[in-house]
Structure 1
Amino acid sequence: MASDREFVEYVAGQIAADAVITYRKMFGEYMLYANGKPAVLICDNTAYIKTLDCVKPYLENAERGFPYKNAKEHYIIDPDDRELLSAVVKELERNVPLPKPKKTV
């Protein structure tokens, strides 16, 4: 089941960050970016955070799940918890590198 754009916009709106929040559709699902850095993966209207050391203090007791078949385990974050979501996204924005540019042929 693909995610609803309304849910994606809701999650993006819940992030109170000093970053520019954008999103991109990929295979019916979405990735939210903070200043161009990947932050929140949305699959089946569920918000996932990659299990990185920088967010472990915030999410070590969070539920975990797999956003799609053959994916690594991710944290599941409640988008209604605006304070936690914003703190995690800020931490990711500080610690995650920008994606490598795609090579043109």
Structure 2
Amino acid sequence: MASDQGFADYVLEQAEGAGGLRVRRMFGEYVLYCDDKVVALICDNRVFVKPTVAGRAWAGDVPEAPAYPGARPSLAIDARLDDRAWFAELLRITAAELPEPAPRRKRAGRG
């Protein structure tokens, strides 16, 4: 089951205050970016935050599960998604620990 736009909008609303947030539809699901870093996946209308050392420490006893078959386990945020302040802080902490995205290569001109 693919995630729907309404749920992705809800996740953005819940994460308000975390910084530069955006979602992008990808393969029927959504990717959540914070400050241009991939911090979470939205799959089957569930949120899976990338696990980092600081994020795990902040999250406490949040269970881990793969976002899709074959994926590495991520923090499954189902039960805490309604806690806006907690969720926004988790995303800020996660983004701070992740490396900067690699610069995009320019495409070679045609002609």
TM-score, normalised to structure 1, is 0.88
Q: Which runs of structure 2 are paired with 1:11-90 in the superposition (5 Å)?
A: 11-17=11-17, 19-77=19-77, 78-90=80-92
Deviation at 1:18, TM superposition (A): 5.1
Q: Which runs of 5 or more structure 2 residues have no equivalent in the other structure? A: none
Equivalent AA in structure 1 for residue 26 of structure 2: M
Equivalent AA in structure 1 for residue 23 of structure 2: Y
The aligned length equals 105
CA distance in 2, matches of 1:50, 1:10: 19
**Kept after mapping to 1: 8 A contact 2:18/2:88:** no
Deviation at 1:83, TM superposition (A): 1.7
CA distance in 1, matches of 2:95, 2:17: 9
Deviation at 1:51, TM superposition (A): 1.7
| % identical aligned pairs | 30
Deviation at 1:102, TM superposition (A): 4.4
* Higher CA-based Rg: 2
Root mean square deviation, CA, Å? 1.6
